């Protein structure tokens, strides 16, 4: 897709794409989301996403997969950004009627590539390159710090606790899992569970079957409060392995230049204690 001029009226339909704008210092005009509920046509409130710097002037246009056609028409964007993938095809066809639309699926196209694309489009290639250099240098430093752990005890199980007494194991298909391999760690799932899954509900017996060096729980934050201690925590104590908590903000992007760096920093800090 080619543009005759640099876009200045940008709508983003996800926190993931908003992170790209934040890195490049580009403000969005409109914002659609699957993680917040806002008032249509009003500025998004109570943003905690790392992409909030790009959303200060953005009005809420609705859900990421069903944005308001009336608002899109009124905003007159010259670029719409959204998540890609087969499930987003219908949305893509609907919104492209209002403006040129770019869709990025981070499962098939890394955010690094998307950042480079948008850097060129907005005339900010140097800024994109500087961020990537800084990001790569920091990841390399964190990997070096964790190298002794990665050599002797690499196996890490990721769990997601979204409510008391409900826990899921995360496999390679879940974006957070990629942060482990970047740091030289190995993703571990309970025996009999395909490690290529995205996520799967677990019972107590499956938790106790874990053969791992540590457990990291992505514990959901609701109104600033973590899911409280419950029976799952009691079961995990019986494993006799270190259990760490990562507070998962409900507005946190699935992946992106800001989120992935935040996760790497948090993982390294937790595990090297």
What pLDDT was estimated at residue 228? 95
DSSP type of residue 177: G
Question: Do 136 and 222 lie in a common domain?
Answer: yes
Give how many domains the chain has, as a whole number.
Answer: 2
What is the DSSP secondary structure assignment for residue 209, as one 8-state letter? Answer: T
Listed as ranges, residues in the chain with pLDDT below 50 are none
Domain termination residue (choose one: 47, 77, 109): 109
The verdict on residue 247 lying in a domain is yes
The pLDDT of residue 273 is 66
Q: How far is CA 171 from CA 143, 157, 176, in A?
A: 21, 9, 9
Strand 30-33 to 10-12 pairing: parallel
Looking at the structure, do residues 103 and 137 belong to the same domain, yes or no?
A: no
The closest of 253, 269, 261 to 17, measured between CA atoms, is 253
Residue 117 lies in a domain: no
Q: Are residues 168 and 214 in the same domain?
A: yes
Residues 160 and 102 in one domain: no
Write out the residue range of the structural domain in which residue 170 sits.
129-271
Indicate the residue among 109, 137, 153 that finishes a domain.
Answer: 109
139 shares a domain with 97: no
Q: What is the per-residue pLDDT for 230?
A: 93
């Amino acid at each position: 897709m080619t543009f005759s001029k640099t876009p200045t009226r940008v709508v983003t339909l996800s926190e993931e794409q908003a992170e790209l704008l934040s890195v490049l210092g580009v403000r969005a005009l409109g914002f659609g989301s699957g993680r917040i509920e806002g008032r249509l046509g009003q500025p998004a409130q109570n943003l905690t996403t790392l992409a909030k710097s790009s959303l200060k002037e953005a009005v809420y246009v609705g859900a990421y997969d069903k944005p308001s056609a009336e608002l899109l028409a009124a905003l007159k964007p010259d670029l719409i950004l959204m998540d890609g993938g087969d499930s987003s095809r219908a949305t893509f066809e609907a919104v492209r009627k209002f403006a040129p639309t770019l869709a990025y699926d981070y499962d098939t196209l890394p955010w690094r590539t998307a950042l480079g694309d948008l850097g060129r489009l907005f005339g900010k290639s140097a800024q994109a390159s500087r961020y990537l250099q800084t990001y790569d240098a920091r990841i390399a430093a964190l990997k070096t710090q964790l190298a002794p752990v990665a050599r002797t005890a690499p196996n890490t199980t990721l769990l997601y606790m979204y409510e008391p007494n409900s826990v899921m194991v995360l496999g390679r298909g879940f974006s957070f899992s990629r942060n482990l391999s970047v740091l030289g760690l190995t993703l571990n799932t309970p025996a009999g569970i395909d490690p290529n899954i995205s996520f799967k509900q677990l019972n107590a017996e499956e938790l106790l079957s874990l053969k791992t060096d540590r457990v990291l729980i992505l514990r959901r934050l609701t109104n600033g409060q973590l899911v409280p201690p419950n029976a799952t925590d009691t079961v995990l104590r019986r494993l006799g392995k270190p259990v760490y908590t990562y507070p998962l903000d409900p507005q946190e992007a699935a992946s992106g230049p800001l989120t992935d760096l935040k996760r790497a920093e948090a993982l390294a800090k937790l595990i090297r204690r």
